[in-house]
Structure 1
Amino acid sequence: MSPHTASSPGLKLPQITGRGAHVLIWIYFVTISALALLALDDVRSPLIVYISTAIFGSIWWVLTRDTAERASIRTSVYVIIASVVATAISSENSLASGFSQWYVGAAALVMFYLSLRRRDLLAWIGFSAIAIVVIGWGFTTEDRLLEAILLVARQAPFVLVGSLFSVGMQRTSRSLEGVHEVETARAAAEAAALARTAERSRRLVALDAAVGAHLQRIADGAELTQEERNELLIAEARLRDSLRARQLDLPEIVAAVQSARRRGVSVVLLDDRYPLPLPAGALTTVVDAAVRILDAATSGAVTIRLLPAGRALLTTMVADGDYYSRVEIPSL
C-alpha cells in the first residue's frame, strides 16, 4: 500500500445526528423561546406561549434522542402532530404579527430537520398540515388571511431547502461510497502486488543461497563433481519442500532434512493444512517430533505431513527404513 493510500483520511458526510448538530438545535430552541417571551404583550394568554414552548422543547428532545440516520416513523409522527397542535393553539393566541408568530418558523424548522433525517415526504405532509392550520386561522379572522398566506410562504423555502439538501447528501453519500470502494480495491491490489514481490524476492534469496554458487560454476563452464551434483539434487528437493510444506520450512526442520538426505534418506514434506496456520502451541511439538524422527533415520524414506484442518490428527510422521516408525500428533 502506498503511503498516500495508507494515510488518506476517510471521506465522510457531516453528522446531522451528532453532538454538534444537537447543540445548534438547542441553541435555536433557546433563542426562539426568548423571542416568544419577549412578545408576551402581543398574545392573549402567556400560558399558551409557555405550553407551546414546552411542546417544541419535547419535539427537539425526541428528535435528538432518535440518533438513527433516518428518523423513525414513530418519531416523525409525534413531531408532526406536536407541531400542528402547537401551531393551532398559538395561532388563536396571537394578536399581532412579528415575534408573536414565532411558532410558524419553529414548526418549519422542525420539518426542515425532519427532511434532513431522510423523511422528506413526512416533512412536507407535516408542513402542509401546519399551512392548513395557519391559513385556516387566517380565514377565521378579519383582514388577516393575506398575512397567514405570506407567513406560510416565507417558511416554505426552509422545507424545500431541507429536501434538496437531503437528496444532495444521499447522492454525495453514494458517490463517496463508490470512491471508498475504488480506493479499497486499489489498496488491496497494491498490497497483493507487494506481497507477491516480497515472496518472489524471498524465494530468489533462498535459491541463491542454496544453489547460487553451483549455478555460477556451471555458468563459468566448470565441471561439477559428483558431490556437487548430489548437493544440487538436495537443493532442488529443498526448493520443492518450500513450495509443498511452507509451515515446515523452519531452520530446525530444514537442517535435519538436509542431514537426512545427505545420509541417503528420501524425505517428503507435505502441508495439506496451508493456508490455515498451526494451532497455538503446536509448532514446538511438531518441530521436536520431526527433528527426532529425521535424526534417527539412516536409510529408507521419511514422510512428514500436516493434515487438513478438522481432522482428529494434526500431523503424521512415518519412517520406513531399517525399522518402521510412525508418530501421530493429535489436533487437541
Structure 2
Amino acid sequence: MISVKNVLVALAVAFTAYLAARGLWWTEPVPYPLIVVATLGMYLATTWLCIFWDPASISAAQEEEHIGDAHRARGRLPVPAMILALAAAIIVPSAISFAVGPGAVTSGFATWYLGGIGALMTIVMVRRRPWTAWAGIVILAVGSMAWMGPANALALGLVGSIVWVTCAQLLVRSLDRAARDTSRLAQLQRAASAWQASQVGRQRERRVQVQQALAVAGPVLTRTVATGGRLNDDDRLEARLAEGRLRDEMRGPRLLDDEVRAELERARRRGANVTVLDEGGLEGLDDETLSVIRAQLAEALRSASSDRLYIRTSPDARVAVTVVGRSPSVGGPSEEDGVDLWREIPHPGAA
C-alpha cells in the first residue's frame, strides 16, 4: 500500500544509499579500502536501523484518547538506535579520513560523510530525538574540521547538514502542534457528542414524566373540571393520591415498580404522609439489582404502620435505601413524633 510514510521511507533509504555509494567511487587508490567498506556498512546498517526500528505499541483506544502523545511515542527512536547513531557520528568521519589518507580527505569520495551523517541526524531528529541529533551535528562538525579544516568542512557539506537538521526540527514541531490541535478537536467533539446525548436523554425523560403525569392526574382533573371544583370526599382522596404518585415519579423513579407503587398507595389510603426522595447512590445499578432493592422496600412498607414515612436513597457504599417511620408520641404534640420504624436496605452483595 502506497502512503506518504512509505514514500518518505523509500526516499530516505535511497538517499542514504546514494551518499554511501559515493564513498566507493574512488578516483585514486586509498590506503585502507577495507576500513572504508566496513565503515560504509556500519553507516548503512545504523541509518536503516534508525529508519525502520519502531517497537512502540500503542493501542487504538490510547491513540484515540491521546492523539498527540501517542503519535510522538510511536515515532520516537529507541535508545539503542540513538546510541548507535551517536557512535556513527563519532566513528565514521575519523575512520573514513584515516582510511583515505591525508592527501584525499577533501576528495568527493572522502567527504560523503558530511552529507551522510547529516542525513542520519535528520532521521534522528524526525524520530523525535532532537538533543541526540544536535549532539551528532556537533560531533560531525568537530571531527570534520579536525581532519580537513573549518573552511573546507563548511564549504563541502557541513552547512547543508546543519540546514537539514534545522528544517527537520521545524517540521517536527509543526507536526506535533498539528497533532495536539487534532487531539483537542477530538476531545471537544466527544464532549459535544456527550452533551448532545445527555440533552436527548433528558428530553426523553421529560416526555416520559409528562406522559405519566397526564396518565395519573388526567382523570382527577377531568372530574374536577366536570364538577366545577365541587369534589366529594372520595374525589379529594383520589386527588391527594394522584399528587403523591406524581411526586413519587418525579423524586424517586428508580425506587418504583408496580409492587412499591401499590404499597405507597396503600399507606396513603390509610392516612400516612409519605415522602420519597432519590438523593443519589443508585446510579449505574442494573435492573436485577434494583429489583432486589425494590422488593425489600415493598416488604418494609407492607409491615409499616407509621403516620409519616420517609424513604430516601443513600450515597453510602453499604446502604441503598433508608426507610424511617415516625408517629406521634403518646400524649405528646406532633413536633415530638417518635421514631417507630428504622430500616436500612443494603446494597445486594455489600459486606
Amino acid in structure 2 at the alignment position of 1:329: I
State the number of aligned residues.
Answer: 309
Q: Name the counterpart of 1:8.
A: none
In structure 1, stretches of 5+ residues that fail to align are: 1-13
DSSP-derived class of the 2:119 partner: helix
Q: Name the counterpart of 1:234.
A: 241
Deviates more, 1:126-135 or 1:98-107: 98-107
Q: Percent identity?
A: 24
d(CA) in 1 for partners of 2:269, 2:192: 47
Q: Name the counterpart of 2:299.
A: 292
Q: Name the counterpart of 1:86.
A: 92
Offset of residue 167 of structure 1: 2.1
d(CA) in 2 for partners of 1:295, 1:15: 72
Q: Name the counterpart of 2:147.
A: 137
**Match for residue 46 of structure 1 among 26, 31, 34:** 34
Q: Name the counterpart of 2:117.
A: 107
Q: Deviations over 1:34-91 (max 9, x none)?
A: 8368647865413432244225524654673674455578864552233231222123
Amino acid in structure 2 at the alignment position of 1:255: A
Offset of residue 257 of structure 1: 1.8
Offset of residue 176 of structure 1: 2.4
Offset of residue 248 of structure 1: 0.5
Q: Name the counterpart of 2:67.
A: none
d(CA) in 2 for partners of 1:285, 1:146: 87
d(CA) in 2 for partners of 1:98, 1:164: 30
Q: Deviations over 1:100-122 (max 9, x none)?
A: 65543332122112222444354
Instruction: Compute the TM-score of the two structures, normalised by the length of structure 2.
Output: 0.68
DSSP-derived class of the 1:309 partner: coil
Q: Deviations over 1:208-260 (max 9, x none)?
A: 11113433555677446333332222121122223432320223312332244
d(CA) in 1 for partners of 2:15, 2:42: 10
d(CA) in 2 for partners of 1:127, 1:299: 87
d(CA) in 2 for partners of 1:57, 1:309: 63
Q: Name the counterpart of 2:63.
A: none
DSSP-derived class of the 2:345 partner: strand
Offset of residue 296 of structure 1: 4.7
Instruction: Compute the TM-score of the two structures, normalised by the length of structure 1.
Output: 0.71
The answer to whether structure 1 residue 172 and structure 2 residue 178 are counterparts is yes
Equivalent residues of 1:25, 1:60 under 8 A apart: no
d(CA) in 2 for partners of 1:56, 1:163: 23
Q: Name the counterpart of 1:246.
A: 253
The answer to whether structure 1 residue 126 and structure 2 residue 136 are counterparts is yes
Q: Name the counterpart of 1:271.
A: 278
Deviates more, 1:277-286 or 1:79-88: 277-286
Q: Name the counterpart of 2:345.
A: 329
d(CA) in 1 for partners of 2:227, 2:34: 109
d(CA) in 1 for partners of 2:135, 2:18: 23
Equivalent residues of 1:244, 1:271 under 8 A apart: yes
RMSD across aligned positions (CA) = 4.1
The answer to whether structure 1 residue 195 and structure 2 residue 201 are counterparts is yes
Map 1:28-43; keep pairs closer than 5 Å: 28=14, 31=17, 35=21, 39=25
d(CA) in 1 for partners of 2:107, 2:208: 82
d(CA) in 2 for partners of 1:84, 1:60: 18
Amino acid in structure 2 at the alignment position of 1:105: G
Amino acid in structure 2 at the alignment position of 1:182: L
Amino acid in structure 2 at the alignment position of 1:130: L
Offset of residue 159 of structure 1: 1.4
**Match for residue 214 of structure 1 among 213, 216, 220:** 220
Q: Name the counterpart of 1:116.
A: 126
